[in-house]
């Protein structure tokens, strides 16, 4: 068990055996023996490893172990194996802490993930996805208005959302499953509109799985779903009208702030819905490309989102005396003194020890 933990933490930190050896003063051969179970590290070595890997020593003895299944990366072919291993290791560690926390709570605020029964069984054209996105919004009582915080909405409906510290410019999101529970991963520090599109894109994969005809490209379908889910067709037509030959960048900036869909995402929605003819869409793309806006859009960056459910559940368990401050600090992966500052105990009731 300890050996597997060391290996997982090393991969999550993006370190080779040699790099970890240099940080700890322990030989690479010794670490390899620890990881394969041929040798057991002493308490002093575990302390050195915990410091080098950025985990508490309790991590090495954690009973929960998860396996990610059905892993999908949006740009898998462009990611090095080391980067994939780092991202997956980071997500596994976060998942283990989340599952351990859930097991400490008698009941929580999260419902089981469930898709509505009325979704079409077969999708033969991208245009049909507009209806799928609308039906899902109706089933989840979202209406057609902009979704203020997409991460919160997904967590409330049984999807575990994580942000990986293993940022890679070629990493555009990951989806997986653990014991039938869907998991979506985005990069921490990305602009909020990029996070939101990735979340909606991966949700699209979950919704459309097993429904697409052989000639419907899966990535294109997930992209269409993402746009339709974030900006429903009826709202797009209200905002833009039925036919346009040009969309003002300032107009797109306002819509981006309102819906959390990028300016280029709005251009693509206009094209998908026939509001912007292909020739005019190409003109707008060239205009954006000539100014470098295809890489960094003008105006203020849309604020990034951050999953809140884990934090909420830790403090709930603490308030109900289900865990101690020390356990809460372990779950947050921070020193006890740092957690106590974070908690700000003024006015709060001390947790049971």
Is 252 within 8 Å of 263 (Cβ atoms)?
A: yes
pLDDT at 347: 45
Angle ∠(248,201,141) on CA atoms, nearest 5? 90
Residue 351 has what pLDDT? 46
Partners of 73 in the β-ladder: 174
Give the pairing type, strands 160-164 and 69-73.
unpaired
Would you kindly state where each structural domain of the chain is located, as residue ranges?
1-61
Q: Distance between CA atoms of 292 and 295, rounded to whole angstroms? A: 6
Distance CA 53, CA 42 (A): 16
Report whether CATH 3.20.20.70 matches the domain 1-61: no
Nearest to 264 by CA among 299, 313, 311: 299
Give, in degrees to the nearest 5, the angle at Cα 35 between 26 and 28. Answer: 30
Q: Going residue by residue through the chain (353 aa), what tens digit of pLDDT does each one get?
A: 788 888 888 887 888 899 999 999 999 999 999 999 899 999 999 999 988 988 878 778 876 667 777 777 655 445 677 777 788 888 888 888 998 898 888 776 677 899 999 899 999 999 999 999 999 999 999 999 999 999 999 999 999 999 986 555 567 788 888 888 899 999 888 899 999 999 999 999 999 999 999 999 999 999 999 999 999 999 999 999 999 999 999 999 999 999 999 999 999 999 999 999 999 999 999 999 999 999 999 999 999 999 999 999 999 999 999 999 999 998 998 888 999 998 875 444 554 44
pTM tops 0.85: no
Q: How far apart are CA 62 and CA 18, in angstroms?
A: 25
Q: What is the rounded CA–CA span in Å between residue 55 and residue 20?
A: 13
Residue 50 · residue 59 · CB < 8 Å: yes
3-state secondary structure (DSSP) of residue 351: coil
């Amino acid at each position: 068990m300890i050996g597997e933990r060391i290996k997982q933490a090393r991969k999550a930190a993006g370190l080779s055996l040699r790099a970890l050896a240099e940080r700890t003063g322990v030989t690479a051969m010794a670490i390899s023996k620890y990881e394969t179970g041929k040798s057991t590290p002493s308490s002093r070595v575990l302390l050195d490893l915990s410091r080098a890997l950025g985990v508490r020593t309790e991590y090495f003895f954690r009973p929960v172990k998860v396996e990610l299944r059905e892993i999908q990366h949006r740009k898998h072919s462009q990611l090095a194996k080391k980067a994939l291993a780092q991202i997956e290791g980071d997500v596994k560690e976060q998942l283990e802490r989340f599952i351990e926390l859930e097991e400490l709570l008698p009941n929580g605020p999260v419902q089981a993930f469930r898709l509505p029964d009325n979704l079409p069984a077969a999708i033969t054209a991208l245009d049909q996805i507009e209806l799928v996105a609308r039906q899902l919004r109706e089933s989840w009582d979202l209406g057609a208005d902009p979704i203020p915080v997409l991460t919160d909405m997904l967590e409330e409906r049984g999807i575990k959302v994580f942000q990986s510290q293993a940022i890679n410019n070629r990493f555009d999101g990951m989806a997986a499953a653990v014991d039938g529970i869907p998991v979506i991963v985005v990069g921490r520090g990305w602009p909020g509109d990029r996070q939101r599109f990735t979340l909606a894109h991966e949700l699209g994969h979950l919704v459309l799985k097993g429904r697409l005809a052989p000639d419907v490209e899966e990535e294109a379908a997930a992209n269409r779903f993402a746009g339709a889910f974030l900006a429903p067709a009826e709202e797009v037509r209200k905002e833009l009208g039925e036919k346009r030959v040009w969309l003002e960048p300032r107009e797109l900036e306002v819509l981006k702030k309102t819906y959390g869909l990028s300016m280029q995402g709005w251009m693509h929605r206009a094209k998908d819905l026939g509001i912007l003819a292909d020739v005019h869409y190409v003109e707008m793309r060239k205009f954006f490309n000539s100014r470098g806006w295809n890489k960094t859009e003008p105006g203020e960056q849309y604020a990034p989102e951050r999953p809140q459910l884990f934090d909420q559940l830790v403090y709930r368990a603490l308030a109900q005396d289900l865990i101690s401050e020390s356990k809460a600090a372990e779950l947050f992966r921070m020193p006890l003194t740092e957690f106590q500052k974070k908690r700000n105990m003024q006015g709060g009731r001390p947790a049971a020890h």
